[in-house]
Structure 1
Amino acid sequence: MPSSVMPMSKLGDGRQSPTALAATGLRKSYGDKTVLDGIDLNIPAGSVFALLGPNGAGKTTAVKILSTLITADGGRAEVAGHDLAADAQAVRAAIGVTGQFSAVDGLITGEENMLLMADLHHLSKREGRRVAAELLERFDLTEAAKKPAATYSGGMKRRLDIAMTLVGSPRIIFLDEPTTGLDPRSRHSMWGIIRELVTGGVTVFLTTQYLEEADELADRIAVLHDGRIAAEGSAEELKRIVPGGHVRLRFTDPAAYRSAASALHGATRDDDALALQLPSDGSQRALRSVLDRLDSAGIEADELTVHTPDLDDVFFALTGGTDIPHQPNQPEETVR
């Protein structure tokens, strides 16, 4: 395949989409420590891909390999249609990277940071000033542009960091734990920026330890554990691989409760609470099946609660529950 041709990926509805990044059998070791043990990736253009994993799982190593900062020990990859090993310069021209630690120079102003990036991308002075001004406005940094970056808040520095990454108009952006250390308001602001980038056609490769962040943003999620991809899919697909989902029905009328218990074979009874619990994957089809059985018997529940495993459950199941922060997820939804 010529390096200028991007391979294709299938979207969920069967349509073909250009593949922004494809990797096969990527390996990396440091001495006796195997960090990546043959991972495969296929990321459609214009999507958000999230790589989850505990500290030391190899997330940053994967980003460094795919962004040409270090070389893999084995495997191959194409990024933006270019072979990673044979055409690293073309890959660099197509990507942007925002690491875990800000690349912002605090001793100069936000505008000067932007103009420095424009110089590094060989833009003319006029074009550099135009691009810098547009990006500073886009990231709500115009008022602070003349101030030293050292005076910026954490959220402002992160916005400036991403704005600097966009100076070269990259088609693929690697964001390595971009919201670590940010307060909730700044984190949500960053999520909005990421959505806006994808709407503009940019592909985002995101590493994160915040499970609600992956749930909120990612089209596809891969869980990295012991150097391998333990599971991959959409957030909903991953949640369904973990057992424990159920539907809970509560009644106020004892007669309706007894009738429902007879109609819903296999339900676990709680006679004190007048409640029934049935295993369920949380899908619309499974829920409809329960409601249809109640309708057929002429029974109406007073309260219905759906519990589906969340990404916390998935992470703990796949990695043994090591080193992941508590997440304020709400896995249950109650309908009255």
Structure 2
Amino acid sequence: MPFARLAAATTPTCHLGLGLAAVGRPGYINLGRDRDLGADRSVDALRARTHELLDAAYAQGVRYLDAARSYGRSEEFLADWLRARPEIDDVVVGSKWGYTYTADWRTDAEQHEVKDHSAATYARQRAESAALLGDRLDLYQIHSVTPDSPALTDKELHARLAEAAASGLTVGFSTSGPAQADAIRAALAVTVDGEPLFRTVQSTYNALETSAGPALAEAHDAGLTVIVKEGMANGRLAGPDAPEALREVARSTGHGCDAVALALILRRPWAGVVLSGAATVDQLVSNLHAPAVDLDDEQAARLDALAEDPQAYWRRRGRLPWH
């Protein structure tokens, strides 16, 4: 599978990836977005910002890049960057299908994305991703699977995904919501002709939301590559918004709260790739210090104590405004 290239990388950041959710569209739910992006959120401005981030990430050894159909023009921006740098052939490119971007490049849209896990949506969005990324696309994931998702039971969809896998595309899924663990375990049971369908799982896991941890360990033991998203809880674990315990640990390590939050995830033996969702190069550089943060057991225990009830965590996340 393509992630073998990450495992063989020699750079210290080989287990950190760059997600483009925050820069592929003008509106998102991350805290501090007004400060990070400023007023100019034109297509050209965000294209330039995305390319700047990709350049910086690649120079620092990042080799996994993560987009989605619903991240505005993230696939387009990434494809432009790849075409302009044909010498770069060692990155792993992932994207997702299952949500359609509907905000029309507005931050005040009534609805920013629409979820649909049907085989018809897969066929449409697979063609759209292929038109932009072509054979540079390594991993295609179902976006935000929940236990009630039809993607877990749709045999026609499974057959189409298995066909894509047979052609060389790695097939995975991502999860969201308070029942992530249930969704992960249900997906692990999906087979086609007796073989597991999915080779990767991407889930939310951070110091505040740890409920998926045991299921992610099971996925890792089953041979899946685990990708962790929202490691800073949409900004709640970064800077002035971070809990006092995290800020105290960060001060004692000499690193930023963001790097410490990501370092906690890197301690998990099942974490294959941990995503940075940076919106600025300064944020990215700070995130990439995570492998250098040497947390001791006492510090890690203090951070583990920050975990919230998953229902409460996801209710709060659901109230974050798009801005």
TM bracket, shorter-chain basis: 0.3 to 0.5
> Which protein is bigger by CA-based radius of gyration?
1
Greater fraction of residues in strand = 1
The TM-score with structure 2 as length reference comes to 0.33
Greater fraction of residues in helix = 2
The TM-score with structure 1 as length reference comes to 0.32
